[in-house]
Structure 1
Amino acid sequence: MTLVNFKNGNRNALVNPLFKDVFNPFFNEAFSNAPQYNKVPAVNIAETEKGFAIELAVPGLKKEDFKINLDKNVLSVSAEVKAEEATETKKYNNKEFSYYSFKRSFNLPETVDQSSIDAQYVDGVLTLSVAKKEEARLQTREIAVK
């Protein structure tokens, strides 16, 4: 299989000089060299009886890329990844991979047990399990009507 690089930039010049290609719209490259991507990962936060589950969608990273810090009641998750540099054996015709970093911070409530926070990274999802203090857990009971 052979990859062919088509560099015919004027094929749509008669129709619209600002529109180059369906896969290369004006707004993606007019203001920067890199395509515009969402810079922060999507987050799901769920509350259970025993605690909270914070899930971050961060595919393509490794466990070593993450930094998770707790400062007072602020839980911060960050990652920093640099793209590989071009070598003599690898010459790029088009390179869109670049530097990627993010930082998300979460204010934890007073009911959280700060000594019991765990992190797990599986299939592109980083899950932080934050336990509640024993006295903060909801006590459920049935109340009789008199």
Structure 2
Amino acid sequence: MSLIKRDFPMLNNLTDFFDDDWLQTRFANDWTPAINVIENENNFEVEMAAPGMRKEDFHVTLENGILTISGTTEIENEENTRRYTRREFTTRSFTRSFTLPKNIDMDEMKAKYDDGILRLTIAKTEKETPDVKEVLID
């Protein structure tokens, strides 16, 4: 058996079309922000890079040891020239979930959004807490 390299120019053009940034920005509305998770001796720290969002755009919950961070934001661009007006609307949304250990203190969770970074601090405890809690963002 031999391996033969085949060149299909039409296939290459089609692949280039679907890899084009223009196509991705027109049809993709989901986006995944970058996250850092840090475990310290007394707590967990979660940092999420989400520039351009407002704290009202986030929804943070903890249910049965699963931390879920979701968000949706709309971006509107408008360009006016002498002959036309162009308006574009973009909606970005994401959902990220993480399984946390059972030794967290749900009453000592804090969230803050500042300078495009959402920061969560989740305190550790000795007891297990499988309850549901919604986290408010400062």
Q: What's the TM-score once normalised by structure 2's chain length?
A: 0.66
Retained in 2: the 8 A contact 1:28–1:36?
A: no
Deviation at 1:112, TM superposition (A): 1.1
What is the alpha-carbon distance in structure 2 between the residues aligned to residue 33 and residue 52 of structure 1? 34
Give percent identity, aligned residues only.
Answer: 34
- Higher helix fraction (1 or 2): 2
- RMSD of equivalent CA atoms: 3.4
Equivalent residue, structure 1, for 2:55:
63
Q: Kindly indicate whether structure 1 or structure 2 has the higher relative contact order, using CA contacts under 8 Å at least 6 residues apart.
A: 2
- Partner of residue 117, structure 1: 109
1:131 matches 2:123: yes
Residues 1:42 and 2:42 aligned together:
no
CA contact (8 A) 1:28 1:35 kept: no
Match of 1:80 in 2: 72
Number of residue pairs matched?
112
- Give the CA deviation at 1:81: 1.2
CA distance in structure 2 between the aligned counterparts of 1:61 and 1:77, rounded to whole angstroms: 13
Counterpart of 2:31, as a letter, is K
Between Structure 1 and Structure 2, whose CA radius of gyration is higher?
Answer: 1
* Pair 1:102-2:133 in alignment: no
Specify whether residues 51 and 42 from structure 1 end up closer, same or farther in structure 2 by C-alpha distance, changes over 3 A only. same
- TM (norm. structure 1) is 0.62
Unaligned runs of 5+ in 1: 1-17, 19-24, 137-146
Counterpart amino acid of residue 56 in structure 1: M
Question: Which consecutive aligned stretches of 4+ in structure 1 deviate over 2 angstroms post-superposition?
Answer: 28-33, 35-38, 82-86
Counterparts of 1:33 and 1:79, CA distance in 2: 18
Give the counterpart letter for 1:41 in structure 2.
Answer: P
Structure 1 residues 5-25: Cα deviation after superposition (integer angstroms, max 9, x where no partner)? xxxxxxxxxxxxx5xxxxxx7
Give the Å deviation of 1:134: 4.7
Runs of at least 5 residues in structure 2 that lack an aligned partner in the other structure: 1-12, 129-138
Larger fraction in strand = 2
Quote the residue 2:85 is aligned against: 91
* Counterparts of 1:135 and 1:73, CA distance in 2: 13
